[in-house]
Structure 1
Amino acid sequence: MQTFKDTGLPEEILKAIGELGYETPTPIQSKTIPEILNHGNDLIALAQTGTGKTGAFGLPVIPQVVTEEKRVQALILCPTRELCLQITKDLQKYAKYYKDLFVTPVYGGTEIRTQMRALKKGSHIVVGTPGRMNDLINRKAIELGDVRWLILDEADEMLNMGFKDDLESIMAQTPEWRQTLLFSATMPAAIAKMSKKYMSDPVELSVGAKNAGASNVEHQFYMVQAHDRYKALKRIVDVTPDVYGIIFCRTRQETKDIADKLMADGYNADAIHGDLSQAQRDMVMHRFRKKHLQLLVATDVAARGIDVNDLTHVINYNLPDDIEVYIHRSGRTGRAGKKGIAVTIIHSREMHRIKAIEKIAKKTFERKMVPKADEICEKQLFSFLDRVSVTELEETSPVNALLPAAYDKLANMEREQLIKQFVAAEFNRFMEYYKDAPDLNIYKEDRGRGGRDRRDGGRGRDNADFSRLFINVGKVDKITSGDIIGLINSKLKGVTVKVGKIELLRNFSFVEVDKAYEQDVITKLSKAKMKGKSVNLEVASPKPSSSSRRRPQSGRKKRY
């Protein structure tokens, strides 16, 4: 097994990273460090987010900087403020035993004059975002004529974010003899074009296949109706009590809406988007990194530079337009050798996009079924009981003073009753919410009918003899076919009732059920409520032919 010493790094660097606990280089570091130390060739390094790219270029560049010369010798460009600060922090740790080496971050969203003063004092390595770097160049606050290393980190993301002109303007200020190091997770056409224009016979190094997803990320998708996305999201989160992840949305407004809904529903969630001030963004990110938030809702642009190694999930509320963006998103979980899960919520007409990602990313997606109420409630209960069982009460805790009164209050309860009351107090509201929750999944037969929402749980008509029932709720009550199926399933537990066609009309609906369970369905459902409205069912005549002029409800036969 290769060690950092084998790469040729000097003792000062080895000592610093040894104190950080680094023992063996990552695959991309193994390839790039010797190349940058021993050769002056331009370099294209392809590797996913979280594979140690900062170390891949920072560890070999730092010992080559001439600290006696107070000029900018290395320029590192990255897409966001967060990544800029993270790179700076890492480089300063690596350079711990190079006392006279100075690293300066420059980025937008903060006072430019403060950064100008820092640069005037002298800096050897500058880490910056393209927009702010251009501002500094235009103000003649930075001189790039002595730059030996020009490093583009997450180059594909900078191009995706529209920084092409800024990058070209900055590169024009650096000498032609510089060594250009381009690091990217993917290799889109724009990167290939840039390398031909601005790089000289670059060496290409990669970890894994181009545009391939991270190897330790599991890819899953759920298929629901588009209007059920948020309901599905909640169930996915609820069935995973320990989730710690990022939810990606398409637009700034969608990000706000989803975050607001999650917070209103009691989840530890918040959003980052372009409308936040830098101070607000910093506060949200601080809470997320400290795990005071379980869920961070973000757009792709706002999430650039987020550096969190232990995310359990990345959830795509919508699929991105570009496959490379999906690869970037999924690469934010499963980092630092840990396992991760990338979840995507799709509707019936998006299956071809899943297939396209599978082909390019060379990953297989697993179809998962949106969990039902009983599965969610069981998971939540066991998670709660696990938390209770490992909770420690210190002798100095103020809770101890309250225990005698609690013992007296509960003294008359038997063990079983106490547990029952304990669980009920914690879960009554939660279980009430899922009481009549419908099946949100779309099945194959639904897709075959153009994606219409039949939601019969895969039972279909088969050869069953169906009875057509009139039900006094309809579209005006905001009822869906799934709501009716869910009510039947919840009220006739342990019984498989075949459901046929469901017709949703304005003020009422018709549903076909197995004739053998006709009276059971009417009896059980007539005692229920849907969306706050008392349900009433009657047996209706078979659906009239298209030539019939009778009103649909005129064929009632009997009432229970």
Structure 2
Amino acid sequence: MPFPALDPALLAALTERGYAEPTPVQAAVLEAETDPDRQGRDLLVSAQTGSGKTVAYGLALAPALLAEPGRLPPAATPLALVIAPTRELALQVRDELAWLYARAGGRVVACVGGTDPVAERRQLQHGAQIVVGTPGRLRDHLERGNLRPAAMRAVVLDEADEMLDLGFREELEAILDEVPAERRTLLFSATVPPGIAKLAGQYQKDALRLSVGAGGGRHGDIEYRAMPVAPRETERAVVNVLRHVDARLAMVFCTTRAAVARLHGNLLERGFSAVALSGELSQAERTRALQSLRDGRARVCVATDVAARGIDLPDLGLVIHAELPKDPETLQHRSGRTGRAGRKGVSVLLVPMNRARSAERLLAAARVEASWGPPPTVEQVRAEDDRRIAAQAGTLVAEESEEADLAIARALLEAHAPEAVAAALVRQLRAPLPAPEELTEMPRPGQRPGPAPRERGAGPRGAERPEERGGERGGERDGGAWFRMNVGRRGNADPRWLLPFLCRRGHVTRQEIGRIQILDRETHFEVAPYAAARFAAAARQPDREDAHIRIEPVAAERDERPARHVGEERRRRPRG
């Protein structure tokens, strides 16, 4: 569907930018603008991030801004104000509105944190029809008298839910109280939680609600994948996903600065070109990191949710949730950074087996259908490497070569077999690729492991134990120390991830873990007596990733020998 009748200057700008037809959110806004019964009303629009909403509200502002067809009035006092949550988003909005209104004589000024406020004051004094900024800096200019709101006809709140999440409610209310009451208020938000609904009710009049894409349901251009992983193997899974999915740019989300720093360091050590974004970076460091992503010097961005707010990377093809989002809105915000402007994107949730039920509830609350499957294996990564290397080598061979290069090639073929020359090219193409990681195979949530092999004895109520190796070690295991952990069948406990988890958590080997008995809400397991003290000391100091899993010794009565034998042994034990 082509654009409806628009102002000639705006239509020419859209055509020049390659806009043949409106996106769904643009079509919804334009339909409201052309309907006489709804034209000029306040708008409350819920639409996915990256759906073209900047152009949508840019077009919606036109009736309030254009003094005559194709022309804006002189740039004296601002006519429209756009508020965005972050510096990056505000600068992107400024650039979008600048080209949209360039033919109409529009001038757009940005006021954001991290820049020189004196220079911004001079730009405001020079005049602009549209001002775009972040809440804190806009409030500062209003209080200092640099920004005069008397002539403002419209206010836009872009990504309003993010602004509330970042704690800007006070600044937003102070700004909205300053602008004229007789104005048009356009509120755009990926989701409409109660806080947004309250803000809309307070500052909008008879607002028209437009919900595009089921109000934040599944983004049609994003493929969701959920991958069960063993606890503490998340970073290894990140490596394999990055290596397997062919994305020019990828973003990996963590929940804390410490997790970002650790994962970023590990990726650099493995040979990935990666940058990190977290709250501890200065604005200059943040700008350099984003520029390295845009110009191709870096291909992976590890970020916290707050640090990634407002970032627009058009070529972002992969989002990895290294740590599960805290709520459905965060899942949508993270994932919505890919699959933009008609491009396809992939959103991967790495799900520790002890968090499987939480992940299923999260996906259900977000109305997202994810395909469950294991993370890529070493063999799958290498097979994908072979395919890409063959295609890359074919492209190089097909390119026209200069005579000097052909002379060297002839000399090489005279000295070496053709297969050896081709193999050398393949080695050079494979050399920069980071090595994939070995991962423990995990079952899908709800999938019960099959019957245990004959040599792996099973205890009561579904208990399993590693293969008995006999000899002295087996005899020691029979009298081992018993421990319990607060994860059972309801937490998807399974020996296939429990055994490697216990080894890493307790600094023991597989041979030092004996029987594993999985109950409904907890799991009991045996540790060789000579390793019990070492295991108990290490298990008391969990990593942040598995801090919710508690491990403690089981009382002596848990020993399967008859109680009288235990008592007789105690009576024979000398005092002191």
Instruction: Mark the CA change 1:396 to 1:352 in structure 2 (over 3 Å): closer, same or farther.
Output: same
Match of 2:30 among 33, 36, 39: 33
2:50 aligned with 1:15, yes or no? no
Q: Aligned runs of 1:70-81 on 2, under 5 Å?
A: 70-81=76-87
Deviations 1:420-458 (A, max 9, x none): 455456658979x55xx643232269997xxxxxxxxx5
| Contact 1:79/1:129 (<8 A) preserved | yes
1:415 aligns with: 418
Q: Separation in 2 of the partners of 1:320 and 1:472?
A: 48
- 1:93 matched residue in structure 2: 99
The 1:392–1:421 alpha-carbon spacing in structure 2 relative to 1, beyond 3 Å, is: closer
Cα deviation, residue 19, structure 1: 1.1
Alignment partner of 2:385 out of 372, 380, 385: 380
Shift of 1:463: 4.0
Gaps of 5+ in 1: 449-457, 474-497, 513-543, 550-560
Amino acid at match of 1:109: G
| Partner-residue secondary structure (3-state), 1:45 | strand
The offset of 1:226, in angstroms, is 2.8
Q: Secondary structure at the match of 2:255?
A: coil
8 A Cα contact 1:77 1:129, kept in partner: yes
Counterparts in 2 of 1:274-289, with a 5 A limit?
A: 274-289=279-294
Using the TM superposition, give the Cα deviation of residue 169 of structure 1 relative to its aligned residue in structure 2, in angstroms: 0.6
Answering whether residue 237 of structure 2 is matched by residue 232 of structure 1, we say: yes
Aligned residue type for 1:373: V
Partner of 2:532: none
Q: Tell me the distance in 1 between the aligned counterparts of 2:361 and 2:513.
A: 38
Q: In the alignment, what sits opposite 2:21?
A: 24
How far apart are 1:173 and its partner, in Å? 0.3
1:3 paired with 2:2, answer: yes
Gap change, CA 1:409 and 1:171, over 3 Å in 2: same
**Aligned AA (2:56):** A
Aligned to 2:569: none
Find out whether 1:461 has 2:452 as its counterpart. yes
Q: What amino acid maps onto 1:461 in structure 2? A: A
How far apart, CA to CA, are the structure 1 residues paired with 2:9 and 2:445? Answer: 65
Given that 2:75 and 2:128 are in contact with CA atoms closer than 8 Å, whether structure 1 keeps it comes out as no
Residue in structure 2 matched with residue 540 of structure 1 by the alignment = none
Distance apart, 1:499 and its partner CA: 13
| Structure 1 equivalent of residue 203 of structure 2 | 198
Partner SS, residue 172 of structure 1 = helix
The offset of 1:396, in angstroms, is 8.1
Q: How do 1:76-155 residues align onto structure 2 when only pairs under 5 Å count?
A: 76-99=82-105, 101-155=106-160
Native 8 Å contact 1:241 1:380 kept in 2 = no
Using the TM superposition, give the Cα deviation of residue 33 of structure 1 relative to its aligned residue in structure 2, in angstroms.
2.5
Structure 1 residues 339 and 405: alpha-carbon distance in aligned structure 2, compared to 1, 3 A threshold: closer
> Counterparts in 2 of 1:482-497, with a 5 A limit?
none
Cα distance in 2 for residues equivalent to 1:154 and 1:360: 21
Distance change in 2, residues 1:317/1:506 (3 Å): closer
Partner SS for 1:391: helix
User: Residues 425, 84 of structure 1: CA spacing in aligned structure 2 closer, same or farther, 3 A cutoff?
Assistant: closer
CA contact (8 A) 1:186 1:210 kept: yes
Report the count of equivalent residues: 477
Report the secondary structure of 2:338's partner residue: coil
CA distance in structure 2 between the aligned counterparts of 1:29 and 1:188, rounded to whole angstroms: 22
Q: What is the rounded CA distance, in whole Å, between the counterparts of 1:411 and 1:53 in structure 2? A: 62
Amino acid at match of 1:376: V
Q: Can you give the 5+ residue segments of structure 2 that lack an aligned partner in the other structure?
A: 68-72, 458-466, 474-495, 515-558, 567-576
- 2: CA distance between counterparts of 1:211 and 1:408? 62
**Distance between the aligned counterparts of 1:29 and 1:138, measured in 2?**
34
Shift of 1:72: 1.2
The 2-side partners of 1:369 and 1:246 are apart by: 20
Whichever residue aligns with residue 29 of structure 2, its letter is T
Alignment check: 8 A CA contact 2:121 2:146 kept: yes
Separation in structure 1 between the aligned mates of residue 21 and residue 173 of structure 2, nearest angstrom: 36
Structure 1 residues 141 and 507: alpha-carbon distance in aligned structure 2, compared to 1, 3 A threshold: closer
Residues 10, 470 of structure 1: alpha-carbon distance in 2 compared, 3 angstrom cutoff? farther
Cα 1:249/1:424, change in 2 over 3 Å: same
Contact 1:323 1:357 (8 Å CA) reproduced: yes
1:163 and 2:165 are equivalent in the alignment: no
CA distance in structure 1 between the aligned counterparts of 2:57 and 2:405, rounded to whole angstroms: 57
Offset at 1:123? 1.3
Distance, in Å, in 1 between the alignment partners of 2:313 and 2:42 is 30
- In structure 2, how many angstroms separate the alpha carbons of the residues matched to 1:88 and 1:355? 39
Structure 1 residue 391: Cα displacement:
2.5
Confirm or deny: 8 A CA contact 1:78 1:130 kept in the other structure: yes
Shift of 1:401: 4.2
| Distance in 2 (alpha carbons) for counterparts of 1:73 and 1:339 | 37
Counterpart CA distance in 2 for 1:81 and 1:115 is 14
Cα separation, partners in 2 of 1:444 and 1:362, compared to 1, 3 Å: closer
**Which residue identity does 1:247 align to in structure 2?**
V
* Contact kept? 1:36, 1:61, Cα under 8 Å: no
**1:59: which partner in 2?**
59
Contact 2:50 2:337 survives alignment (8 Å): yes
CA distance in 2, matches of 1:9, 1:226: 56
Give the counterpart letter for 2:418 in structure 1.
R
Deviation sequence 1:40-85 (CA, Å, 0-9, x none): 2111011101111011110232453241361111000001111111
The answer to whether the 8 A contact 1:33-1:57 is kept is no
Change (3 A) 1:47 1:507: closer
Alpha-carbon offset, residue 500 of structure 1 = 12
RMSD across aligned C-alpha pairs, in angstroms? 3.2
CA contact (8 A) 2:83 2:158 kept: yes
Sequence identity (%) = 31
Name the aligned partner's letter for residue 365 of structure 1. A
Query: What TM-score results when the alignment is normalised by the length of structure 2?
Result: 0.75
Distance 1:465 1:98, change over 3 A: closer
TM-score after normalising by structure 1: 0.77
Number of the residue aligned with 1:48:
48
* Mapped partners of 2:142, 2:28: distance in 1: 33
Q: Larger deviation: 179-188 or 19-28?
A: 19-28
Secondary structure of 1:210's counterpart equals helix
Is the contact made by 2:250 and 2:299 (CA closer than 8 Å) also made in structure 1? yes
Shift of 1:338: 1.8
How has the CA–CA distance of structure 1 residues 407 and 319 changed in structure 2, closer, same or farther, with 3 Å as cutoff?
same
Are the counterparts in 1 of residues 456 and 468 from structure 2 also a CA contact under 8 Å? no
Aligned counterparts of 2:135 and 2:470: Cα–Cα separation in 1: 64
* Distance in structure 1 (CA, Å) of the matches to 2:428 and 2:75: 69
CA displacement 1:88-119 (0-9 Å, x = unmatched): 111111112112x2211110001100000000
What amino acid sits opposite 1:30 in the alignment?
A
Contact 2:185/2:204 (CA < 8 Å) preserved in 1? yes
Q: 1:324-362: CA deviations, max 9, x gaps?
A: 011111111111112211101121232233222332332
- CA–CA distance in structure 1, aligned partners of residues 44 and 125 of structure 2: 32
Partner amino acid, structure 1, of 2:26: Q
The Cα of 1:3 is off from its aligned counterpart by: 1.9
Q: Provide the C-alpha distance between the structure 1 equivalents of 2:423 and 2:256, rounded to a whole number of angstroms.
A: 45
Q: How far apart are the structure 1 equivalents of 2:92 and 2:507? A: 56
Of stretches 130-139 and 274-283 in structure 1, the one that deviates more from structure 2 is 274-283
Give me the whole-angstrom Cα distance separating, in 1, the residues matched to 2:49 and 2:371.
23
